[in-house]
């Protein structure tokens, strides 16, 4: 299916801090008006739209009296509390010029890890879309922590998770670069832009740069990682520049100023999405080559015979991460054993396992409770 075949399919657009604010901090109203006009044009064509925005901290730190973007958590959270109100006011006024209503939704990593809470959030988004209101989603910086497992760190991953959760057809991530290059084009004019990516290999990841601007937190690498999540969830992604009138339309139509990430995968059921992207693994299982092949290619369950090592103290019913012998994560699953039980039977045959431990089922992870991340 081409990018422009079904304009009624929903689109998630992610706008970063650097696109909405000045380097010194504070909102750039002209840019917000521009993005509202671009989104309004798609809205008029019948596209259900979801906007994932950054910018609360950048919008608020000057207003609150800080000389520069704060680094301490409590200062960032104070700036976000002020800036989020300013950000939503600016969006309401800009979209109001086009007669479009908007709604604020603030999420944290913990919301996604709780199946009930994220299902409630999804129901809210669906109702807003039915009413032709644009949900504007941001991370709830005021209550989020800086712990890696509890904070997105940037909204690139948040936008990918939202796109997968809402079964969007496209994710458009706006950046100041017109796509992914073989090298940094600002340093090497001979760098070549990569127009389309069908699979995100380690080589593609190495092409991504480091941090973004002083105002934003996301660089190209975080966007590539978000594209990987998006593709795994069956959502095609675009990373590029939206700067002039009509650029967003071009991006959606397939001729935008950026790189397209295509996928042949179908959207994952909500249970699999939660398992693969939102759950918090309580431990790790390292498997041998045979078990890796059985899980990724054979569609099999994980048996004790293929396990080499475990890490962490987890219990039956917990989610665990599964890695291969080189340390690469290959997937996640719900484990049927206690950690000590796996430790006692790792590498043993099914018959020997039955003699040593008393478990409800022989599979350490059943294929129905497994999601591949490769």
Q: What is the rounded distance in angstroms from the CA atom of residue 54 to the CA atom of residue 49? A: 16
Tell me if 223 is assigned to a ligand binding site: yes
Tell me if 209 is assigned to a ligand binding site: no
Q: Got the DSSP string for 1-38?
A: --TTS-TTS-EEEEE-HHHHB-TTSSB-HHHHHHHHHH
The CB density around residue 132, as the number of other CB atoms within 10 Å, is 13
Q: Got the DSSP string for 267-290?
A: PPPHHHHIIIIIS----EEEE-HH
Tell me if 210 is assigned to a ligand binding site: no
Tell me if 219 is assigned to a ligand binding site: yes
Tell me if 54 is assigned to a ligand binding site: yes
* Nearest one of 262, 250, 53 to 140, comparing CA atoms: 53
Tell me if 18 is assigned to a ligand binding site: no
Phi, psi of 267, rounded to the nearest 5 degrees: -60, 145
Tell me if 201 is assigned to a ligand binding site: no
User: Are the C-beta atoms of 211 and 144 separated by less than 8 Å?
Assistant: no
Q: What is the rounded distance in angstroms from the CA atom of residue 129 to the CA atom of residue 50? A: 8
Tell me if 336 is assigned to a ligand binding site: no
Q: Which residues have C-beta within 8 Å of that of residue 291, sequence separation ≥ 6?
A: 302, 303, 305, 306, 307
Sort 170 into a burial class: Cβ within 10 Å, 0-12 / 13-18 / 19+: buried
* Nearest one of 367, 315, 357 to 336, comparing CA atoms: 315
Tell me if 298 is assigned to a ligand binding site: no
Q: What is the rounded distance in angstroms from the CA atom of residue 219 to the CA atom of residue 8? A: 31
Tell me if 218 is assigned to a ligand binding site: yes
Cα distances (Å, whole numbers) of residue 165 to 50, 112, 118, 317: 12, 10, 9, 23
Tell me if 14 is assigned to a ligand binding site: yes
Tell me if 142 is assigned to a ligand binding site: no
Tell me if 10 is assigned to a ligand binding site: no
Which residues line the annotated binding site for ATP? 14, 175-176, 217-223
Which residues line the annotated binding site for substrate? 54, 141, 155
Which residues line the annotated binding site? 14, 54, 141, 155, 175-176, 217-223
């Amino acid at each position: 299916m081409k990018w422009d075949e079904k304009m009624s399919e929903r689109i998630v657009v992610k706008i970063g801090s650097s696109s909405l604010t000045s380097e010194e901090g504070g909102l750039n109203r002209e840019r917000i008006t521009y993005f509202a006009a671009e989104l309004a044009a798609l809205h008029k064509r019948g596209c259900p739209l979801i906007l994932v925005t950054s910018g609360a901290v950048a919008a608020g730190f000057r207003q609150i009296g800080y000389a520069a973007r704060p680094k301490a958590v409590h200062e960032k959270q104070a700036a976000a509390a002020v800036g989020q109100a300013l950000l939503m006011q600016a969006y309401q006024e800009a979209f109001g010029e086009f007669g479009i209503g908007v709604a604020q939704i603030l999420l944290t990593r913990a919301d996604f890890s709780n199946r009930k809470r994220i299902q409630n959030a999804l129901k809210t988004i669906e109702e807003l879309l039915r009413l032709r209101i644009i949900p504007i989603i941001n991370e709830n910086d005021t209550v989020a922590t800086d712990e890696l497992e509890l904070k997105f760190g940037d909204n690139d991953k948040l936008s990918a998770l939202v796109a997968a959760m809402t079964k969007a057809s496209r994710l458009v991530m706006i950046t100041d670069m017109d796509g992914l290059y073989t090298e940094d084009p600002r340093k090497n004019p001979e760098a070549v832009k990569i127009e389309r990516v069908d699979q995100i290999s380690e080589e593609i990841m190495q092409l991504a740069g480091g941090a973004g601007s002083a105002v934003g937190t996301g660089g190209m690498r975080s966007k590539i990682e978000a594209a990987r999540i998006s593709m795994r969830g069956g959502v095609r992604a675009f990373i590029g520049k939206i700067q002039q009138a009509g650029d967003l339309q071009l991006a959606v139509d397939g001729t935008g100023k950026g790189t397209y990430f295509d996928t042949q995968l179908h959207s994952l059921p909500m249970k699999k999405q939660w398992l693969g992207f939102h759950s918090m693994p309580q431990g790790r299982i390292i498997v041998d080559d045979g078990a890796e092949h059985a899980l990724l290619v054979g569609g099999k369950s994980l048996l004790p015979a293929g396990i080499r090592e475990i890490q962490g103290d987890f219990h039956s019913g917990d989610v665990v991460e599964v890695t291969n012998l080189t340390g690469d994560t290959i997937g996640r699953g719900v484990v049927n054993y206690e950690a000590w039980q796996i430790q006692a039977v790792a590498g043993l045959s099914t018959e020997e396992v039955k003699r040593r431990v008393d478990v409800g089922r022989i599979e350490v992870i059943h294929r129905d409770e497994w999601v591949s991340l490769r």
